[in-house]
Structure 1
């Protein structure tokens, strides 16, 4: 799960895979929607998504409660999964339960290959679904995806550096955040390699928080498509604050690349960075450079301009779906009911993710960084549920282009947002 959590907060990696072999589906011995004696329920989860101990107990409990039913549990690899899912979902014998990325769900729903679960939501613990992830499983007013787990970004920081700079507590507003940057520069600025905040130019997931915090959005529903709103006052304010952070920190991070190029966790591990915006699972990567950095690291939610509140965060993660051609759809729903129960969602939290179908995050809260992520995720949001959103993330991303153009001065605020708005409209506008 730790490996996936690095991707979950982005959720884009799953849309980049274009190769892979088509997989067979639910098996020839499936026997109708309800599943009969000798039926096989085929379940596909992604590698690293759930601890082996959890899935073993889950499958054993399900089989015990359904005599004669065998769970064929298959772990899938991210590489090539897009094509494999496309082929499997279009077949007459697909798997019965499948994990898909939350930004994939609307695309598959639009193709008519997923079961409408709207009427089953409450029986699937719907009252406890994480709001932001729930939204990502919806398409045209119907529910096709059941929240599985999520991750979100937070500000990861060096506690020792904060203490030495006289910062008594983590910032609780954007102004306190800027003040902390000023104090860190005053204390450590004589070291030319020091960066109060490592802030790459294309961290558009962080940009979303700033846009949402200022009352803006990426796009709004418009008929069967979406209308881009990157030229709105709120979106412009979010972009302006991003630039303010970059300039205040004096970061040397590239303005034409994202947090993965170079890997920001490695930069943080070098000991010259006081803060970065990321997910908790990046800290072990930093510890590969400096094993002692884990004990020195803390986290706080991305601050809001409204003191005492945190900014909304993008939720990346996975949903669980039932293919429309499943021969065991009733059994599949029973499996989802068990998987999304508090018993197993607690184990998801213990593995380091925010459970998608439970409000109980006590297991995650035992880890200080996980506790902050759990807190922030309650104010999480999804990207527009456009079937074409994958093209935004895997192609020429208009938000990344907008950031680079504005931060480098190639375009002013109005031009950068207007051009990005036009580019985004061409992808998700209809």
Structure 2
């Protein structure tokens, strides 16, 4: 226990936990250890997702807010900007593995160069493929490079060339997660902050190279109808369960869903691997070679934060230090809740325990190289207004280089920045 923490005086520490984020046994284990150390009880309040942003914002301005809050990694910046969250920078060294937090969570937890959110757990996306369909094309191992992936998909496309409804790799254009990875892979980004302020950069040379390669991949291996489709319309897992595709890019929940829809596809029939880097390692007139690097993955997950008006900041930090420590991360967040631990050290240890046949390995491998969407309060608005999805549909559906659609999107971002005051 930190020397600055005093023993409890009888008032409970109030913790808000989002519905389905943590099992009851995980929370009980954290609370038991916390009470043992501090003699302070914990009052856990499980929150439904409906209207949660409004509820959190309202609670943070009251005189008695919750002490600890479970906040999604893309939502934290708006609450930090409002002044509703406590700066946790002074506690950082007491958190286990603070120097090896997954980048996609660590970046999301900082705002204006201060720590406001401590990584709780991660979840990522990877390629899910049907081993039986790949075996029919003579493929028995997942690809290690982008060239191998392209070669494999070409072989699968050839086997199924008579089936006009089949996609070797079903990829709806509005599923922006993989497009984002292509952009990062080619060293582009949604915003550039090299000048010290945020500037839209989707139409930059690097971002456009990523978008062009994404379009080529999408157009080559997914159906024409998918160029205007969203991730759940039609459902990607449903497409795979009906054997209309041999691969999708999705999260771990899709593994179970595929087998539930079609019990003839068992979990042993499904495999996963992180999407390989499409950035050429060497390029000449006659040959393009690729390394075994992986694309930076978009990381979802949650962060623990402390209300700025909480009178129990030291106790709250102690509770978070237990929740984010390696013991809880590996024994509960991974083993019980099936989440990805919040740091690369524990992810690597988990990978050593997974058997070769475990079909979740690809998600943990992808988690070792992650990035984050911009830590800007307006990012939630960008996700909700569909502007990025509209850009990707325009690019996927066009024979042009995508520059026009990207510039339209950049102009939209510039307008949002000016209206929100988020440039810094």
TM superposition score normalised by structure 2: 0.89
Decide which of 395, 398, 403 is 2:385's aligned counterpart. 395
Q: Equivalents in 2 of 1:392, 1:242: separation in Å?
A: 20
Q: Equivalents in 1 of 2:369, 2:345: separation in Å?
A: 13
Decide which of 345, 348, 371 is 2:333's aligned counterpart. 348
**37-46 vs 300-309, which moves further:** 300-309
For 2:346, what is the secondary structure of its paired residue? coil
Decide which of 398, 401, 413 is 2:402's aligned counterpart. 413
**Are 1:320 and 2:304 an aligned pair?**
yes
Deviation at 1:419, TM superposition (A): 1.1
**205-214 vs 160-169, which moves further:** 160-169
Equivalent residues of 1:310, 1:376 under 8 A apart:
yes
**Are 1:374 and 2:390 an aligned pair?**
no
Decide which of 63, 66, 82 is 2:35's aligned counterpart. 63
Deviations 1:143-197 (A, max 9, x none): 1000011111111101111111012422222222221111001112222222101
Q: Equivalents in 1 of 2:343, 2:312: separation in Å?
A: 22
Q: Equivalents in 2 of 1:222, 1:112: separation in Å?
A: 26
**Are 1:303 and 2:276 an aligned pair?**
yes
Decide which of 289, 294, 298 is 2:261's aligned counterpart. 289
For 1:74, what is the secondary structure of its paired residue? strand
Equivalent residues of 2:168, 2:246 under 8 A apart:
yes
**Are 1:76 and 2:60 an aligned pair?**
no
Equivalent residues of 1:172, 1:304 under 8 A apart:
no
Equivalent residues of 2:187, 2:206 under 8 A apart:
yes
Equivalent residues of 1:35, 1:328 under 8 A apart:
no
Equivalent residues of 2:127, 2:362 under 8 A apart:
no
Decide which of 317, 339, 345 is 1:359's aligned counterpart. 345
Q: Equivalents in 2 of 1:424, 1:167: separation in Å?
A: 43
Decide which of 176, 179, 183 is 2:151's aligned counterpart. 179
Q: Equivalents in 2 of 1:166, 1:285: separation in Å?
A: 26
Deviation at 1:355, TM superposition (A): 1.4
Deviation at 1:35, TM superposition (A): 6.8
Deviation at 1:428, TM superposition (A): 3.5
The residue that corresponds to 1:99 in the other structure is: 70
Q: Equivalents in 2 of 1:222, 1:216: separation in Å?
A: 12
Gaps of 5+ in 2: 279-289
What is the RMSD of the two structures over their aligned residues, measured on CA atoms? 2.0
* Matched residue count: 397
Deviations 1:248-306 (A, max 9, x none): 11425532232122221111111221001111211111122112322210011101123
Q: Which runs of at least 4 in structure 1 moved beyond 6 Å after TM superposition?
A: none
Spell out the pairing of 1:114-263 with structure 2 (5 A cutoff).
114-125=85-96, 126-221=98-193, 225-263=197-235
Q: Equivalents in 1 of 2:318, 2:90: separation in Å?
A: 14
Spell out the pairing of 1:13-52 with structure 2 (5 A cutoff).
36-52=8-24
For 2:198, what is the secondary structure of its paired residue? strand
Q: Equivalents in 1 of 2:301, 2:80: separation in Å?
A: 17
Q: Equivalents in 2 of 1:292, 1:360: separation in Å?
A: 34
Equivalent residues of 1:34, 1:329 under 8 A apart:
no
